[in-house]
Structures are given as structure tokens and as C-alpha cells.
Structure 1
Amino acid sequence: MLLALGAGFYALQLWGGAGPAKVNVSVLVPEGASLSRAANELEKAGAIRSARQFVLFARVLGGGEGIKAGEYRIPARLSQADVLKLLQGGRTLQRMVTIPEGTPSIIVYEALMKAPQLQGEIQVPVEGTVLPDSYAYNRGDTRQSVLDRMQKAMVTYLAKAWEKRKPGIAVNTPLEALTLASIVEKETSKSEERRTVAAVYSNRLKQNMMLQADPTIIYPITKGKPLGRRILQSELRAVNQYNTYTMTGLPAGPIANPGRASIDAVLDPAQSSALYFVADGTGGHAFADTLEQHNANVQKWYALRRAKGEM
């Protein structure tokens, strides 16, 4: 009896005691893999000492629940009992791809193509169709499946936001809202300014004024990537479907993928009569209702730049 008790205690120690892995390891359990196949992969990775022993203990002490396929991160020294619980619970390793607000679609494409352990090809998504956020994925997922989730998230959010839009706004369709939101996104990184920037452009649209948004000049040149230099006079005068210095109204479509806050700002702009804004030297902007006020703000901005040796 004492021998039996001792053997049982030893077995429980083997099953519930610290595992052999000295560092975290990753293990891939293929789709449809048996417990024995999973145990072999765990042994190869150093997460357990013996595949045969693991299978025996799992069948006797593991409760009979099946394991789930996927990639698992096994913490250092994790016991065999907890390794089995991890596989039975399907708590797979989650990888993330992050799309910041205002990212153009060409960079979304590049981010997905560079994301490790994704499979397959994709096309550059239509501008404005991706909702910026962080998206989890598993090893072996397709790039298209992740992109589909990004685009579905935008469709869902835009539909809900459009239903809550304030009356009298300057945009008439969800696409127009996305287009204007993409400009707002590119014009300010300050959250407290978004609704005021949206108000400026909304006021200009209602008065049939040119929007004169610099990012719309850059978009046809770089597809939204940074220009890396000053805008040329020839580019300022270029006539195309995006340059809002040579056309009234909105450009042909979004110039980036706007985030939730910029979409909300366009659908509920600030109560403001401002028609102009210029950088104020703090990372924000000075707003003006009249051209005279705006010109004074521009001179202040020039004076700041001259003081810094930038002009």
C-alpha cells in the first residue's frame, strides 16, 4: 500500500510539477492532430519531458476533453497538467497587426504583407474601407481573412455612426463622410481639434469654397505616403480629382483610412463659424472666421518659424 501511495504521489508530482522548459516556447498543433501528435510536438519543443508519459497521464488524469488545434505559447516551467489545460481550452497564441488612424491603404497592404505567419496574397484595399485598430490573428490565417475583418469593422462602424449623424451636416452620404473624415484625420493629430477642423471644412463646403487641404495635393503623388519635401507650385496648381486647391467640393474619395473619432467629428462638427486654420507652433492650430484674422495668424506662424531658423 505504501508503495502504491508513493507511486501515486510521484505520478501526481510528475503531472502537476514544474515542466522542463527554461524559457517560453511556441508549439503548433496542426488541424486534426491527435493527442499523441500534439505530445510529440510538445516534446520536440522542450515543453514536456516525454510524449509517451504525457499521453498516459492525459488519458488517466486529463478529464477526457479533446485538444484544439492552433499555435500555443507555453510559459517556462509550465506543468504537464497546465499544458493540457491550455490545449483543451484553445487559448492559442494571438498575434496582432495594428493600423493607426489615418493610414493610407497602400501602407495597410504593406503591413499585412509583412505580418509574420499570415498566408496568401491580397490586393491593395480601396481607400477608406479599413477601420484603423489592432487586429488579432493566428498563425496560418490568411491575409484576406484579416483584411475582410478590417473592412467589415468599417462597414459596421460607419453604418452606426451615420444613423446618429446630426442634422444639417455638410455631407450627404456615408462615402462623403468617409472622404471628409480622411481629410480631417490628416490635418490634425489633436483629439480636441477634430470637431473644429471638421467644422471649418463643413462651413467651406456649405459656402461652396475650395477646401484647400494640403493632404489632398499629396495623395495623387504618393497614394497617401509622406511626401518627404515641400509641395511644389506645379503640384499646388495641378488639376485632378483630388487637389482641393483647384476644385470646389470634396475629392473623388478618401485619401486615407480615417479612425472612429474623425468619422464622429464629421458627423457632429463643432458649433463654429471658422473658415480658416493655420499651425500655431504647439502642434495645434489657430482658427479664424475671417481672412483678415487668418492672415494675422499666418504672420504669427511665420514669425515662429523665422525664430527657429526655418525660414
Structure 2
Amino acid sequence: MRFLFKLLVLLVALALAAGAAAWWWTTQPLALAAPKVEISVPGGASLRTAANQAVKGGVQTHADLLYWYFRLAARDQHIQPGAYEVTAGMRAADLLDKLVRGDRIELPVTLVEGWTFKQVREALAKAESLTQESAGMSEAELMKQLGKPGVPAEGRFFPDTYRYAKNSSDLGVLRHAMRLMDERLAAAWSQRAADTPLKSPEQALTLASIVEKETGKPEDRPLIAGVFINRLKIGMPLQTDPTVIYGLGDKFDGNLRKRDLTTDTPYNTYTRKGLPPTPIAMPGKAALMAAVQPAETRALYFVARGDGTSHFSGSLGEHNAAVRKYQLGGQ
């Protein structure tokens, strides 16, 4: 009997010691193979898989110990898949909290004002650790995948810097950028001038894309938009080079020739009146607002001064004089 009592006391002592050791372990920072280690949790991973992945990634503890902690502490919470960074000083509780919240490693990709959709796709293709789910998709297939079948992709994505979880899909970035452009365009259209000749938000988007490509200095946007609005009101061709260049596509070699301005295409605003059939680039917020709230001006022409700004003219004679002064050296 005395032996059994002593054995019981020993077992209780061992249990208390083990419990104390386990409690102490939870209060200590996790040992890491480096100051920062990265772990990858696949979709649908169990708590055991997450623990195994943590140890595989450089968390220096026993996987079973980490698993049992996760199992006891997680309760009904679920972990999120993705790539995670574990840094010095983090405890098991901090790691579990990060996995539950989905606090994944995020990377930035920037879509620039004035870029074409082709440039957007090129940037996404080069983005670090971004899964190229849209690779091989045509523009039509991609837009269908994003929930806008039949809608041209050009201009439909808002230029901004987007952060994405490592190894996530490029479609997620595009979906976010498309949703943001929808919001910005709707907000701008709701503030349109009462006398605008624009008939729809899509027309505003197209004009904004032209303003974006024509603007050298930000402060000129409303005036440039004012010129184009004036031309639309009187049925005068927009006569803007960026639309012609866009229509040339890969044929454009950097030099716009007279024959390019006289050869008719859907995007040649010298041979056709009104707006081109689609936007020609991604406009930013300022260009959207300029398109719907242009400056009040009598100008019908503008020419680049050579310093990024433009000279605006109300008559062809004044415009020709400005061209001679700023582009022909006073000839």
C-alpha cells in the first residue's frame, strides 16, 4: 500500500511538473532557425499540418507539442491558408492568432495612371509570388471570369498600389482594381456637370482616359477636358494623337506620321467625330473628375509648350501661332 501511495505521489508530481513545463513553454518565445522564418499553410490544412509546416519552415520545437497547443487553444477557430512570417519574440499563442486572423505575408504591385491593359497584364506577370491564373486567357475570357462578360478590359481597372497575399491569384488583384474603378467612376458620374454632353459613365471613363494621356501637368487636366467637351458639344472631331496611337497598337514605332492621322480606324479621332469605342488607358481619380467637371473655357485647341504645360487657344489662328512658337521654334 505504501508503495502504491508513493507511486501515486510520484505520478502527480510528474503531472504537475509536466503541466508547469507546458505552461512555461507557452510563455516563452518560439525558437527559430533564423530571426525571421516563413511558413506555408496549404488550403484545407488541419491543425496538425499547420504545426508540421511551422516546424518545417524553421520553428524549432516539437511538432506534436505545437499541434496539441493549437488543438487546445484554437477551440472552434479555423486557421487560414497562406504564407506567414514568424519573427523573433513570437510565442505559440502569437503564431496561432496570426494563422486564425489570416495575417499573411503581403506584397505590393503598382498599376500606374495612363497604363494600357496590356501594360497591366505585363506588370502582374512580373509581380513577385503572384499566381498567374489568367495566363493564357484572352481579354474576353478574363473579363468573363471577373464577372463582366462583353465589357472591354481597357480602362476598367483603377490605377493604385495593391497588396496581395503571397502566392494568391492575379485575378484577385484585378478584381479589386476593377471594383475600385467601378466605385470611383460611379462617384465621379454622380457629380457630373449639368450641361455635360456625356451620355453615360462609360463615356466619362473614355474621355477621362484621353485626358490622362494628354496631360503633362496635373493642373492642366480640367482645361484639357474643357477643350474636348467644347468640341463634343459642337460636333468637332477631338483630333487627339493618343487615340490614334492606341489604334495603331503594336504598329506604332514611336513616330506618328501624317498617313497615320489620315488612315481611318475606330480610334482615329481625326477621321471620326465623337469618342472612340473604348477607353485607351487607365485614368486616375483626377482625370475622372476633370472629365465630368471640366474647366469653363472657350478654348478649342491646345499645344504642348515643351515644359509639360499646355497653351490653350480659342481660335485656329491663335492655335497655329502657338504651334509655331512652341513646336516650330518661332518659324
What band does the TM-score fall into relative to the shorter chain? 0.7 to 0.9
Which digits, 9 at most, give the CA deviation of each residue in 1:25-83, with x for residues without a partner?
A: 322212221221111111111034322222244445x3635342222332431333322
Q: Does residue 1:217 correspond to 2:217, yes or no?
A: no
Shift in Å, 1:135: 3.1
Q: Does residue 1:123 correspond to 2:147, yes or no?
A: no
Match of 1:286 in 2: 311
Q: Does the aligned pair in 1 maintain the 2:74–2:96 contact within 8 Å?
A: no
Q: Secondary structure at the match of 1:249?
A: coil
Match of 2:117 in 1: 105
Q: Does the aligned pair in 2 maintain the 1:185–1:258 contact within 8 Å?
A: yes
Match of 1:176 in 2: 203
TM-score, normalised via structure 1 length: 0.85
Q: Secondary structure at the match of 1:282?
A: coil
> Size of the alignment, in residue pairs?
303
Shift in Å, 1:177: 1.2
Match of 2:148 in 1: none
| Correspondences of 1:149-298 after superposition (within 5 Å) | 149-222=176-249, 227-298=252-323
Q: Which amino acid aligns with 2:183?
A: T
* Percent identity between the two aligned chains: 36
In the superposition, relative to structure 1, how do residues 9 and 293 fare at CA in structure 2: closer, same or farther (>3 Å)? farther
Match of 1:43 in 2: 55
Q: Does the aligned pair in 2 maintain the 1:74–1:83 contact within 8 Å?
A: no
Q: Which amino acid aligns with 1:301?
A: Y
**Bigger-Rg structure (1/2):** 2
Q: Does the aligned pair in 1 maintain the 2:30–2:60 contact within 8 Å?
A: no
Q: Secondary structure at the match of 2:264?
A: coil
Give the stretch that moved more between structures: 207-216 or 156-165: 156-165
TM-score, normalised via structure 2 length: 0.80
2:97 aligned to 62, 71, 85, which one? Answer: 85
Q: Secondary structure at the match of 1:294?
A: helix
Q: Secondary structure at the match of 1:73?
A: strand
Distance across 2 between alignment mates of 1:7 and 1:173: 69
Shift in Å, 1:202: 0.7
Q: Does the aligned pair in 1 maintain the 2:312–2:319 contact within 8 Å?
A: yes
Q: Does the aligned pair in 2 maintain the 1:241–1:251 contact within 8 Å?
A: yes
Distance across 1 between alignment mates of 2:285 and 2:47: 44
In the superposition, relative to structure 1, how do residues 191 and 58 fare at CA in structure 2: closer, same or farther (>3 Å)? same
Q: Which amino acid aligns with 1:261?
A: A
Match of 2:84 in 1: 73
Match of 2:32 in 1: 20
Which digits, 9 at most, give the CA deviation of each residue in 1:122-161, with x for residues without a partner?
A: 3325222222223333345443344333333333332232
Q: Does the aligned pair in 1 maintain the 2:110–2:159 contact within 8 Å?
A: yes
Distance across 1 between alignment mates of 2:56 and 2:50: 10
Give the stretch that moved more between structures: 1-10 or 258-267: 1-10
Shift in Å, 1:285: 1.4
Q: Secondary structure at the match of 1:112?
A: helix
Shift in Å, 1:91: 1.1
Distance across 2 between alignment mates of 1:119 and 1:15: 41
Residue segments in structure 2 that go unaligned for 5+ positions in a row:
1-11, 144-151
Q: Does residue 1:144 correspond to 2:159, yes or no?
A: no
Shift in Å, 1:295: 2.6
Residue segments in structure 1 that go unaligned for 5+ positions in a row:
none
* C-alpha RMSD of the superposition: 3.0
Q: Does the aligned pair in 1 maintain the 2:131–2:169 contact within 8 Å?
A: yes
In the superposition, relative to structure 1, how do residues 241 and 13 fare at CA in structure 2: closer, same or farther (>3 Å)? same
Q: Which amino acid aligns with 2:49?
A: R
Shift in Å, 1:183: 0.6
Q: Which amino acid aligns with 2:84?
A: R
